[in-house]
């Protein structure tokens, strides 16, 4: 599996397995086991997913050495703030049955995420976290965080797929060598991604599916991706993207699918709602 280098010198796999919305804990555990047996070494979870314990059980059961697995988790909105983040982090470690995280992220740019970042910097300097980052941070919040602290986020996990390519945001992130990490790389099936004519036509050239073409496009765009599936055949299929290369023409055709807007989560709208009404976001 190809590794990418983060801005702090650490490396991480460029393709991982995500467990968002796998609420059945037995199914989550099996999915992580299947992913690890397939060859995935990046597992992405979060406190608010409610499945960290299942992830931890699967990692132990897999027999794969902890040092060979890159585990990413996140602190949720209700736990932003220095003390709350420290407590949430310790709970995450207990759930995952590990004594460190490879990557810890602020899940949303709401609440006292400055307090969270102070806690995360301390944990990073103490060796409890190998890299720290954020999720869903748009340019204004990202620059504010960068200018306010001495550690620049290593990762920004964002909605990123052929229909929402976040080109301006990624240009800013490249300036600070912040790695883009694509959640919902298949756009949750929106815009009929799995049968989309351009992606299908490109895939037909290589004997690949639109999903595999999408993951290969992200690979060649230097983006980390964390596709989710609970079906072994699809987990294996998503992993099989190292045996072909997209041409410049292919890449340009996929780039042209960009709508310029998010399809799943409009962070700016949610941000304003949170500011005005202090909405309590829950899983």
**Bridge partners (DSSP) listed for residue 157:** 135, 181
> Residue 1: pLDDT band by 50, 70, 90 thresholds?
confident
Phi, psi of 154 (to 5 degrees): -85, -25
Return the CA Rg of the chain. Answer: 18
Cα 189 from Cα 192, distance rounded (Å): 6
> What pLDDT shows up at residue 269?
66
- Phi and psi of 179, rounded to 5°? -75, 125
The per-residue pLDDT for range 24-40, each reduced to its tens digit, is 999 999 999 999 999 99
Asked whether residue 70 is domain-assigned, the answer is yes
The pLDDT value given to residue 180: 98
Residue 202 in this model has a pLDDT that exceeds 70: yes
Please check whether residue 4 lies inside any domain of the structure.
Answer: no
Residue 164: pLDDT over 80: yes
Mean pLDDT of 241-267: 96
Q: Among the options 49, 110, 113, 124, which is catalytic?
A: 49
Domain with residue 96: its CATH number is 3.20.20.100
Q: Is the dihedral of CA 133, 134, 135, 139 positive or negative?
A: negative
Q: Above 70 in pLDDT, residue 271?
A: no
Say how many domains are in the chain.
1
From the CB of residue 279, how many other CB atoms can be counted at a distance below 10 Å? 12
Q: Report the alpha-carbon angle 24-28-30, nearest 5.
A: 120
Residue 260 DSSP class: S
If you average pLDDT over residues 101-117, what whole number do you get? 96
| pLDDT of 53 | 97
CA-wise closest residue to 123 among 146, 145, 99, 147: 99
Helix (H, G, I), strand (E, B) or coil at 110: coil
Within a domain: 181? yes
- pLDDT digit string (tens) for 62-92? 999 999 999 999 999 989 999 999 999 999 9
Average pLDDT (43-56) is: 96
Half-sphere exposure of 246 (CA within 13 A, CB side): 28
Contact between 27 and 58 under an 8 Å Cβ cutoff? The reply is no
Q: Flag whether 169 is in a domain.
A: yes
- Residue 2 located in a structural domain: no
Token output for 199: 């992606």
Structure confidence at residue 190 (pLDDT) = 97
**108 within some domain:** yes
**pLDDT for the residue 266:** 85
pLDDT at 272: 52
79 CB-near residues (< 8 Å, 6+ apart): 47, 85, 87, 88, 116
Residue 1 maps to a domain? no
Q: Is residue 256 part of a domain?
A: yes
Q: How far apart are CA 45 and CA 255, in angstroms?
A: 29
- Which residues are registered as beta bridge partners of 164? 161
pLDDT in tens, 3-14: 999 999 999 999
Does residue 113 carry a catalytic annotation? no
Q: Which domain holds residue 166?
A: 11-275
Token representation of residue 65 = 């050495």
Q: Phi/psi of residue 175, each to 5°?
A: -60, -35
- pTM equals 0.94
The residue that leads in pLDDT, 203 or 278, is 203
Residue predicted with more confidence, 271 or 1: 1
Query: Is residue 267 within 8 Å of 109, Cβ to Cβ?
Result: yes
């Amino acid at each position: 599996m190809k590794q990418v280098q983060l801005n702090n010198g650490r490396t991480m796999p460029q393709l991982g397995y995500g467990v968002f919305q796998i609420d059945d804990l037995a199914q989550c555990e099996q999915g992580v086991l299947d992913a690890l047996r397939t060859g995935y070494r990046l597992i992405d979870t979060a406190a608010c997913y409610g499945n960290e314990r299942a992830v931890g059980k699967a990692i132990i059961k897999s027999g794969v050495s902890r040092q060979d697995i890159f585990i990413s988790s996140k602190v949720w909105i209700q736990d932003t703030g220095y003390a709350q983040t420290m407590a949430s982090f310790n709970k995450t470690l207990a759930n995952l049955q590990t004594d460190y995280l490879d990557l810890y992220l602020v899940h949303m740019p709401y609440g006292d995420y400055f307090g969270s970042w102070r806690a995360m910097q301390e944990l990073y300097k103490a060796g409890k976290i190998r890299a720290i980052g954020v999720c869903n941070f748009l340019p204004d919040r990202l620059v504010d965080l960068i200018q306010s602290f001495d550690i620049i986020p290593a990762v920004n996990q964002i909605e990123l797929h052929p229909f929402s390519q976040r080109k301006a945001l990624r240009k800013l992130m490249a300036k600070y060598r912040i790695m883009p990490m694509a959640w919902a790389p298949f756009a949750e099936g929106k815009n009929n991604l799995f049968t989309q004519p351009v992606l299908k036509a490109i895939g037909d050239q290589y004997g690949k599916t639109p999903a595999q073409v999408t993951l290969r496009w992200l690979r060649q765009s230097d983006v980390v991706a964390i596709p989710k599936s609970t079906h072994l055949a699809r987990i294996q299929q998503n992993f099989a993207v190292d045996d072909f290369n997209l041409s410049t023409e292919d890449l340009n055709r996929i780039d042209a699918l960009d709508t310029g807007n998010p399809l799943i989560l409009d962070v700016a709208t949610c941000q304003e709602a949170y500011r005005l009404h202090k909405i309590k976001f829950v899983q």
